[in-house]
Amino acid sequence: MSNQNITPEFKSLLKYIKENRGFDFSNYKPSTLIRRIQKRIQAIGINNYSDYIDYLEVHPDEFGHLFNTILINVTAFFRDRAAWDYIAAEIVPQILANKRQGEPIRIWSAGCASGQETYTLAMVLAEAVGFEIFKQRVKIFATDMDEEALSQARQACYTQQEVADIPPQLLEKYFELQGTHYVFNKELRRSIIFGRHNLIKDAPIARIDLLVCRNTIMYFDSEGQTIIINRFHFALNDGGFLFLGKAEMLFSRNNKFMPVDLKQRVFSKVPNSDDRRDRLSMMPEPENEQEPSEMVSQTRLSQAAFNIDPVAQVVVDVNGCLTLANESACTMFGLKHEDLGRPWQDLELSYRYIELRSPIEQAYQLRRKIILPEVVGPPLSGEARYLEIQVIPLEDTNNNILGIKIIFADVTAFKKLQEELYQFKEELEAAYEELQSSNEELETTNEELQSSNEELETTNEELQSSNEELETTNEELQSTNEELQSLNEELHERSSQLTQVNLYLESILTSLRLGVVVVDKELQVHIWNYKAEDLWGLRFDEVRGRHFINLDIGLPVEQLRQPLRACLTKDVTFEEITLDTINRRGRSIQCKVTCTPLKSQGTGIEGVVLLMEELP
Backbone angles phi, psi at 129, to 5 degrees: -115, -15
Please tell me the number of Cα atoms within 13 Å of 493 on its side-chain side: 6
280: phi then psi, degrees, rounded to nearest 5: -135, 155
Instruction: Tell me what the mean pLDDT of segment 334-360 comes to.
Output: 85
| Nearest one of 98, 95, 120 to 109, comparing CA atoms | 120
- Crossing angle of helices 8-21 and 30-43, in 10° steps, is 80
Predicted pLDDT of residue 365: 87
CB 263 within 8 A of CB 245: no
The answer to whether 524 and 549 are in contact (CB under 8 A) is no
- With both helix axes pointing from N to C terminus, report the angle between 30-43 and 49-58 in degrees, rounded to the nearest 10: 60
Structure confidence by residue, pLDDT tens digits, 397-446: 777 888 999 999 888 888 888 888 888 888 888 878 877 776 777 777 77
When mean pLDDT is compared over 8-17, 162-171, 318-327, the highest value belongs to 162-171
The reported pLDDT for the residue numbered 72 is 65
Q: What is the mean pLDDT of residues 544-573?
A: 87
- Residue whose C-alpha is closest to residue 366's, from 284, 283, 275: 275
The letter for the amino acid at 333 is F
Encoded amino acid at 608, one letter:
V
CA distance linking residue 15 with residue 262, whole number of Å: 38
Q: How confident is the model at residue 2 (pLDDT cuts 50, 70, 90)?
A: very low
- Pairing of the two strands 208-213 and 105-110: parallel
CA dist 612 and 512 (Å) reads 11
pTM of the complete model: 0.52
Q: Report the pLDDT value the prediction gives residue 86, as an integer from 0 to 100.
A: 95
pLDDT digit string, tens, across residues 239-279: 899 999 887 777 544 678 889 998 899 999 988 644 433 33
Quick one: how far is CA 367 from the chain centroid? 33
pLDDT band at 73 (very low <50, low <70, confident <90, very high): low
17-31, 343-357, 429-443: range with highest mean pLDDT: 343-357
- Confidence class for position 145, pLDDT limits 50, 70, 90: confident
| 361: CB partners within 8 A, 6+ apart | 202, 203
The C-alpha atoms of residue 188 and residue 149 are separated, in whole angstroms, by 20
Q: Which of 179, 187, 119, 183 is nearest to 155 (CA)?
A: 183
**How far is it, in rounded angstroms, from Cα 555 to Cα 577?**
12
Query: What does the pLDDT average to over 482-504?
Result: 84
pLDDT at residue 89 above 70? yes
Judging by DSSP bridges, how do beta strands 105-110 and 370-380 pair with one another?
Answer: unpaired
